[in-house]
Amino acid sequence: MVLAAAFCHATWNLFLKKSQGGGTLFFWLAGSVEVLVYAPLAIGMILATGYRPDVSSLGLMAGSAVIHVGYFILLDRGYRSGDLSVVYPLARASGPLITIIAAVLLIGERPALLAVAGAVLIGMGAVLLSGNPLQLLRARAQGVVFALGTGVIIAVYTVWDRQAVAAFLIPPVIYYWASIVIRVIITSPVALRDTPMLRTIWARDKKAVLAVGLLSPFSYALALYAMKVAPLSYVAPAREMSILIAALYGTHLLKEGDTARRLAAAALMVLGIAGIGLAG
């Protein structure tokens, strides 16, 4: 499930990077696609399970919606000001390292030393994928800032959502679909104020909107199910295999090159994933 989630995640990020963006309006369109496409599955699960959210569950869903609005906006800003091979690795690498710290401090998990070492190796590999960090700070300062901000939000929503599905036992598909509905609702005043731009974005970047709308929730639902059956401090770093996939996309589809550096970074991440697997 984690590997499938990684593939889907890297793919929708590729489409987002290739698009011209659009901030809140772009993600309102993508969120609307998500709501419509996954409504039958979510409603079917509600009917099959008889699940009815209480006040705490609704609060968790609303909180997740707000956090994800910030995530998507920062990510889009990062791609407008930096390269895929810079923003994606830095965002995805910083997230799991912060997540492990939060998992230890906030929910009492105690990951094995080997798992922590594996997470660090994944982070080192992701930074190496981006090239010389000092050069990045000089040449791509704005993109780096947005990437690191995205990484912080990744850590926040990973801990938040994991508690929702693991501690409060909210079915992942229902939880995530409801959070998308809330996300669309709270961003509607901004989006519907500029319907001509909405139409422009749809006509210009329809494929990207559909890719994000279809693959983003699917990849995250897979990750949430994995979080239900494995410790967060293992699942979060393992998801970063998507960095490898994104590196291949960058090399072959976006012509970003530098094969030797990417292979070295891949080796570090493979060692990291092996450490996490052995620790589990």
Dump pLDDT digits (tens) for 59-109: 999 999 999 999 999 999 998 887 787 788 878 877 767 777 777 787 777
Q: What is the mean pLDDT of residues 5-25?
A: 91
Query: For position 65, what pLDDT does the model report?
Result: 96
The C-alpha atoms of residue 5 and residue 216 are separated, in whole angstroms, by: 9
Which two three-digit tokens encode residue 238?
Answer: 């393992």
- In 3D space, the residue among 253, 257, 271 whose CA is nearest the CA of residue 13 turns out to be 253
Q: Is the pLDDT of residue 111 over 80?
A: no
Query: For position 73, what pLDDT does the model report?
Result: 92
The C-alpha atoms of residue 226 and residue 57 are separated, in whole angstroms, by: 20
Query: For position 269, what pLDDT does the model report?
Result: 78
Is 107 in a helix, a strand, or coil? helix
Dump pLDDT digits (tens) for 192-221: 999 999 999 999 999 999 999 999 988 877
Query: For position 135, what pLDDT does the model report?
Result: 56
CA distances from 162 to 71, 96, 202, 223, 278 (A): 16, 13, 33, 9, 22
Could you tell me what percent of the chain has a pLDDT over 70? 91
| Crossing angle of the two packed helices 206-229 and 141-166, in degrees rounded to 10 | 50
Dump pLDDT digits (tens) for 133-174: 555 555 556 777 888 899 889 888 888 988 898 889 898 889
Domain housing 69: 2-279
Evaluate whether 94 touches 152 at the Cβ level (below 8 Å): yes
The C-alpha atoms of residue 118 and residue 277 are separated, in whole angstroms, by: 9
**First-residue to last-residue Cα distance in the chain:** 16
Report how many domains make up the chain: 1
Give residue 132's region: left, alpha or beta (phi > 0; psi -120 to 50). Answer: beta
Q: What is the dihedral of CA 64, 148, 236, 46, to 10 degrees?
A: 20
Which two three-digit tokens encode residue 251?
Answer: 């090399």
Evaluate whether 118 touches 247 at the Cβ level (below 8 Å): no
- Sign, Cα dihedral of 151, 152, 155, 158: negative
Report which secondary-structure segment, H or E, holds 123. Answer: helix 113-130
Which two three-digit tokens encode residue 209?
Answer: 């909107």
